[in-house]
């Protein structure tokens, strides 16, 4: 099959950037979207041009490193999917595919389609952990956790940190990301001791990083590869209010 890629090219953080169009032939429907970009890069090398910088690593939907805005959607046209899981069969022969980097002030473009998501790490650093030094843990089954509590924690913990929630949010809010981590840890008995500080400091950091606020459009939940529920944000708000007013 043949498609036209319209791809954002930007030399580095400070340069301006613009779209470039590339007609690519010889693709097959079985190719993944990223393999089609690989293929395009090989064509560029053959023409002695610089390759397009884009991100990926595991290519099986779990590392969270890949992620671009494809034809107006984070990770492409399907719900709950990563870019690496997208295949060319999702596009029509001859289609023009517009590829843009994640857009958010907190995610500056480094080059072409690559953005800097370290803001997410900075949020985690402010409390996305349970303080327990190696070697200090008690016997595992000494902490009983009901199945539904563990399951709910796992639902939230499934976040892969790809940033699609931020990218698809009109406010570039990182509320879903932050909420998922807070709820994962604070709903478990091990994580309760630091719950107050955790929610206050992580939400504070989220604002300092320049993310917008949540207006519950629900786009994040649909674009989230793990389908993490929007209600997590409401739960975070409740935890925050409790921490703020009741301590």
Partner 1 sequence: MLDAKIPEGSLENKWRNYQLKAQLINPANKKKLNVIVVGSGLAGAGAAATLAELGYDVKCFCYQDSARRAHSVAAQGGINAAKNYQHDGDSVWRMFYDTLKGGDFRSREANVFRLAELSAPLIDHYVQQGVPFAREYGGVLVNRSFGGVQVQRTFYARGQTGQQLLLAAYSQLYKMKRAKKVEMFPRHEMLDIVVIDGKAKGIIARDLVTGQLKRFAADAVVLATGGYSRVFRLSTLAIGCNGSAIWKAHKRGAYFAAPSFTQIHPTALPQTSEAQSKLTLMSESLRNDGRIWVPKKKEESRKANEIPEEDRDYYLERRYPSFGNLAPRDIASRAAKELIDAGFGVGRLKNAVYLDFKHAIEHFGLETIKDRYGNLFKMYKKITGVDAYKEPMQISPAAHFSMGGLWVDYELMTTIPGLYAIGECNFSDHGANRLGANSLLQASIDGYFVLPNTINNYLASALKEDHPTTDHPEFEKVEKEVTEQISRLLAVNGNKTVDHFHRELGKVMWQECAMSRNKEGLEKAIVQIEEIKEAFWNEVNVTGGHLEMNTELEKALRLADFIELGLLMCNDALQREESCGAHFREEYQTNEGEALRNDDTYSYVSAWEYYQGDFKLHREALTFEYVQPTVRSYK
Partner 2 sequence: MFFRKSIIALTGLFLCIFLIVHLSANSILLLPEETARGLYNSYSTTLRESPLIKIVAYVLYLSIILHVVYALLITLNNRRAKSKAYAVNRNKENSSWTSQNMGLLGIMILLFIVVHLANFWARIKLGMGEGVGLDANGHVDVYEVTYSLFQNMYYVGFYSLLMIPLGLHLHHGLKSAFMTLGFYHKKGLKFLAKAALVYAAIMAIGFGIIPLIVFLK
Q: Which is nearer to partner 2, 34 or 169 (CB)?
A: 169
Sites for partner 1 among residues 124-143 (CB under 8 A)? 124-126, 128-141, 143
Please, which residues have CB within 8 angstroms of residue 25's CB and are 6 or more apart in sequence?
Answer: 2
Sites for partner 2 among residues 94-153 (CB under 8 A)? 98, 100, 103-108
Confirm or reject binding of residue 236 to partner 1 (CB under 8 A): no
Q: Which is nearer to partner 2, 105 or 197 (CB)?
A: 105
Confirm or reject binding of residue 168 to partner 2 (CB under 8 A): yes
Segment near partner 1 (CB under 8 A); pick from 80-88, 96-104, 169-177, 235-243:
80-88
Please, which residues have CB within 8 angstroms of residue 186's CB and are 6 or more apart in sequence?
Answer: 192, 195, 198, 199, 239
Among 97, 99, 160, 236, binds partner 1 (CB under 8 A): 160
How far apart are alpha carbons 151 and 110 in whole angstroms? 37
Please work out the total of residues on this chain that contact partner 2, with binding judged by CB under 8 A.
47
Confirm or reject binding of residue 197 to partner 1 (CB under 8 A): no
The long-range contacts involving 4-8, CB below 8 angstroms and separated by at least 24 positions, are: 4/94, 4/95, 4/96, 4/97, 5/36, 5/37, 5/40, 5/96, 5/97, 5/99, 6/96, 6/97, 6/98, 6/99, 7/52, 7/99, 7/112, 7/113, 8/99, 8/100, 8/101, 8/109, 8/112, 8/113
Sites for partner 1 among residues 38-77 (CB under 8 A)? 38-39, 41-42, 44-46, 48-51, 53-65
Q: Smallest distance, Å, CB 41 to partner 1?
A: 7
Please work out the total of residues on this chain that contact partner 1, with binding judged by CB under 8 A.
82
Among 110, 200, 222, 234, binds partner 1 (CB under 8 A): 110
**Strands of the sheet with 73-74, listed across from one edge:** 18-24, 3-9, 96-100, 69-70, 73-74
Q: Which is nearer to partner 2, 26 or 94 (CB)?
A: 94
Confirm or reject binding of residue 165 to partner 1 (CB under 8 A): no
How far apart are alpha carbons 239 and 70 in whole angstroms? 35
- CB of 95 closer than 8 Å to CB of 3: yes
**Which residues form the interface with partner 2 (CB under 8 A)?**
19, 69, 71-73, 77, 79, 98, 100, 103-108, 168, 170-173, 203, 207, 210-219, 222-223, 230-235, 237-242, 244
């Amino acid at each position: 099959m043949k498609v036209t890629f319209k791809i954002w090219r930007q030399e580095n953080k400070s340069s301006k950037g613009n779209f470039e169009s590339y007609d690519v032939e010889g693709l097959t429907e079985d190719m993944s979207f990223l393999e089609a970009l690989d293929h395009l890069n090989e064509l560029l090398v053959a023409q002695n041009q610089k390759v397009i910088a884009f991100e990926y690593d595991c290519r099986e939907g779990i590392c969270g490193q890949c992620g671009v805005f494809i034809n107006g959607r984070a990770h492409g046209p399907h719900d709950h999917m990563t870019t690496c899981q997208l295949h060319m069969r999702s596009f029509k022969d001859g289609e023009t595919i517009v590829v843009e980097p994640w857009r958010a002030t907190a995610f500056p473009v480094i080059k072409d389609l690559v953005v800097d998501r370290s803001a997410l790490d900075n949020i985690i650093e402010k409390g996305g952990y349970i303080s327990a030094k190696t070697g200090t843990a008690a016997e595992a089954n000494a902490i009983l956790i009901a199945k539904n509590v563990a399951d709910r924690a796992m639902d939230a913990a499934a976040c892969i940190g790809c940033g699609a929630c931020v990218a698809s949010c009109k406010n570039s809010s990182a509320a879903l990301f932050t909420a998922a981590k807070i709820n994962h840890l604070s709903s478990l008995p091990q994580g309760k001791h630091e719950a107050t500080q955790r929610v206050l400091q992580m939400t504070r950091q989220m604002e300092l990083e320049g993310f917008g606020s949540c207006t519950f459009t629900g786009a994040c939940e649909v674009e989230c590869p793990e389908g993490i529920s929007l209600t997590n944000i409401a739960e975070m708000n409740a935890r925050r209010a409790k921490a703020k007013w009741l301590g």
